[in-house]
Structure 1
Amino acid sequence: MPKHRMWIGTVLLIALLLRLSALAIYGLDHLSLHSDDVGYTNGAIRLLETGMLTYKGPTEPAHFATEPTVKIMPGQPLLLAAVFLLFGSGTLGMYAAKIVMIGIGLLGIYGIYLLGRYIWGTAVGVIAAFLLAVSIEHIVTDNLLLTETPFFASLVFLVYFSVRLARERKPVHFYSLLLCYMAALMFKTTVALYPVLLLIYLLLQKYPFRLLMKQAAIAAAVMLMVLSPWWIRNYVHYHTFIPLTAGEGNPLLLGSYQGKGYPNRPPQDELMKNLKAEYANVTSFEFQKIQAEVAKQRIKLWWETDRNSFIESYAWLKPKILWKDSFYWVEIFHIKEADVHAAQWRIVKFGLLAFLLSFLLNRKGRKELFLLFSLLGYFTVVYSVYFVFGRYNEPLMPFLYLAIGVALVSIWQSLRTGLAFWRQSRSDT
């Protein structure tokens, strides 16, 4: 067996054993947030029973569970529904769903390995994959029925095929890229503007303009065919054009209470309580629109009354919260949440330093480093508009692990080169 296969095989085996051990030791009830994961699960069950896509959050009115939703994309309920169709929605089905999520998590680990190996070599890919395999946060997340795991798997292969397309310009990579983009979009709409980053990257790679325009037209036609049923479904239910989702009202409103200097009259809890009481009988879609309008009024007031704190909050404090916070709400293997949270900011700072060192020490793959850094910057900007917390950095951390791998290998190669030069100088004298 080639050494590179042995290395990644070992990493994947470690990842599998850690994730299955967590599932075997802690079981279904402990490995649950009793929040969004339950919402997705119930939505999948109802999808099988009625054919209707629904979603009810943990604190939302009960009638949201029985009405069509446009708060989420259909990816996660469809994925879970497929598992429940085969194994039922009882205990067996729940374990099967978690094992499927673990499998998708392993696919994401393999994807970060492929990306690192293709650009910088096997050692970089193995380091990044190993860091992801043993990340306690990702071990837990791969045991939860959330969108983060399938979204990351789609995203990492989206980036991988983007790089291969730019370098090799083969049709198979273009269609693979397009498939991964559509898959990622089905789980999180935040990826929607990725084509802008891809365009910049392809232009930096001197991608043929005529071919670029041709493939852009094909991509637009495919996306039109794929999304048309979703648009029609949304129009039938809501009598308006909704391209992706209309669930940004709540996170936009909560985000207007994050940072410093924000208007705090009424306080957040009081405002949410009043809105739920006043609009108890409206649909989920209408309630999201109401929250969005209240959020816009608050944001406007914040800007007019304390512009400095507004800029500081959205440009610095909220991005810092996004990256400093950890997503480890379920403790396993006697590892404390406080310890993981304390390590998070150190890892992020080391990862950002790794980007700088990688760029300075390694001429190979600088344009790809730019793509990855732009990707992290893009998601930071998008998420910081809304309420931010550690869960949103979960699919992004592996790209920091990749930068760490590049930096470590670059430092090692520089030391070896320096040592060889020193030895040659001594032998010459």
Structure 2
Amino acid sequence: MFTLKEENLRTKKILYALMAIVLAVSAFTALYYGDAFLLGTYEKMDNDDVKYMYAAKVLLEEGTLVYKSYPNPTLFIMPGFPVMLAFFMWIFGDYENTAIAVRLFQCVLQAASVYLLFVIARHMFNSRVALIACIIAALYPPNYYTSGVILSEGIFQIIFLLLVCMTLYALQKPSVGKYIAIGALLALCAYFKPQFILFPLVIGVTWLIRRVPFKKMVLYTATIVLTACLLLSPWWVRNYAQFGKFIPFTDSSGNPMLMGVLPGEPSPGFFKEYPQYSPDVYDDSTEKVGHIILYSLKTKPFETIKWYLFDKTILAFEQTFYWLDFWGMSYHFVLALHIILCVLGVAGFIAALINRRGDILVAALTVAYVIAVHIPFVQFSRYMYPIIFIFTIFAAYLIAVPFGSLSFRRSSSVTRHFP
């Protein structure tokens, strides 16, 4: 699935040229703008990126993972990104040199992601669609922003692309080894973004639709779970040793959930029924979120359901992960490009579904999963960035249709139609 051996020389040259362009533009942008990509300042520690860098410094010097808790250990963040930053800091020393090295590393990852995008799009449709998808990705400004900002999106994107690639490969040619790899990638995802830990639900639904034998489903599920648990166990041991209880991921979901639970403040009637959650009492627990949702469903069922199923989905995509204007491209210009891409992606999915073209089931379920797990939270543009590549692929399919038949050079895994 990952090889280009069957591709013609022209396709290979275009793909490698696109990867080189993405690498060069990403690196030049990251080096030219440098610390203009910073959201906060090291002196004030007033945003996520500089807090991550500080966490890496403390982790390297004192062996303690902190965030806003120094000198006490934290449960606010997962360790993946601080550990990565600490590795670079161990090699390059101070904040400035570490930031440069991390940005350049993320530029390499961005170029590599073009290759994985090609592999996934080719599997779903064909090489023509895959190349168009790579061209769109090379023209999508937030990809270059991701290379420069010191946040986890750059490294998480390629881990997630690998997870999707391996999922498609395992569904095509199942083996225990491939599902071990899925379990390992799943654990790695969780070390950066734990909300992706239930991604195997996508695989499970695909198994059910494709009527995979029950014994194989049990075997492969156990393989994924055991592998992921083994690799996550160091984090669980650390949490138990330092906090005296089993904590699988973090203890920080209450605040972002409260920020995104309703459009505006909860009904005054809620605080009469639950005075312990009044604004006078600080509480950002997930229990409070649950009570607010249940109360809203009871008192305003239609508005609450509409808010969660429709309004919040629209909110998730009406922003773009582009927080620094560079090369003369304003946020509003890039937002327009982003919205066009999303609209084309949805239209492309509908066209593929109607025409019963391509192996689109995993992609569709992945989008549904990512939207669903973020529905309870406040909608940030960062949250949907990991699945923009899927919209890119469907947009490429829509663009490719008028330019000829889609029957040439298909991956052997998709000689069947949807699903």
* Residues 1:42 and 2:54 aligned together: yes
Per the alignment, residue 413 of structure 2 pairs with none
Q: CA RMSD in A?
A: 2.7
**1:214/1:102 CA distance change after superposition, 3 Å:** same
Query: Where do 1:22-421 residues align within 5 Å?
Result: 22-28=29-35, 30-34=36-40, 35-56=47-68, 64-256=69-261, 258-259=262-263, 262-263=266-267, 290-365=284-359, 369-414=360-405
**1:249/1:12 CA distance change after superposition, 3 Å:** same
Q: Is residue 321–residue 385 contact of structure 2 (8 Å, CA) maintained in 1?
A: yes
> % of aligned pairs identical?
23
Per the alignment, residue 285 of structure 1 pairs with none
Q: Which has the higher helix share?
A: 1
Q: Is residue 322–residue 389 contact of structure 1 (8 Å, CA) maintained in 2?
A: yes
1:206 positional shift: 4.2
Q: TM-score, normalised by structure 1?
A: 0.83
Q: 1:410 & 1:359 partners in 2: Cα distance?
A: 13
Count of aligned pairs between the two proteins: 390
Q: Is residue 154–residue 184 contact of structure 1 (8 Å, CA) maintained in 2?
A: yes
- Structure 2: tracts of 5 or more residues without a match: 1-7, 41-46, 271-276, 409-419
Q: Is residue 101–residue 144 contact of structure 1 (8 Å, CA) maintained in 2?
A: no
- SS in structure 1 at match of 2:404: helix
Residues 95-149 of structure 1 show CA distances to partners (whole Å, capped at 9, x for unaligned) of 0011112222222222111111233222222222222222111210121121112
Residues 54-109 of structure 1 show CA distances to partners (whole Å, capped at 9, x for unaligned) of 113xxxxxxx2322112221111111111111111332222001111222222222
Alignment counterpart, residue 10 of structure 1, candidates 12, 17, 20: 17
- SS in structure 1 at match of 2:148: coil
Per the alignment, residue 273 of structure 2 pairs with none
Residues 160-197 of structure 1 show CA distances to partners (whole Å, capped at 9, x for unaligned) of 11111111224443333232222212111111111111
Per the alignment, residue 426 of structure 1 pairs with none
- Structure 1: tracts of 5 or more residues without a match: 57-63, 267-271, 280-288, 418-429
Q: Is residue 357–residue 407 contact of structure 1 (8 Å, CA) maintained in 2?
A: yes
Q: 1:6 & 1:318 partners in 2: Cα distance?
A: 41
Q: 1:127 & 1:248 partners in 2: Cα distance?
A: 38
- What letter corresponds to residue 350 of structure 2 in structure 1? L
Residues 384-412 of structure 1 show CA distances to partners (whole Å, capped at 9, x for unaligned) of 11111211111111110011122333343
- SS in structure 2 at match of 1:66: coil
Per the alignment, residue 415 of structure 2 pairs with none
1:343 positional shift: 3.4
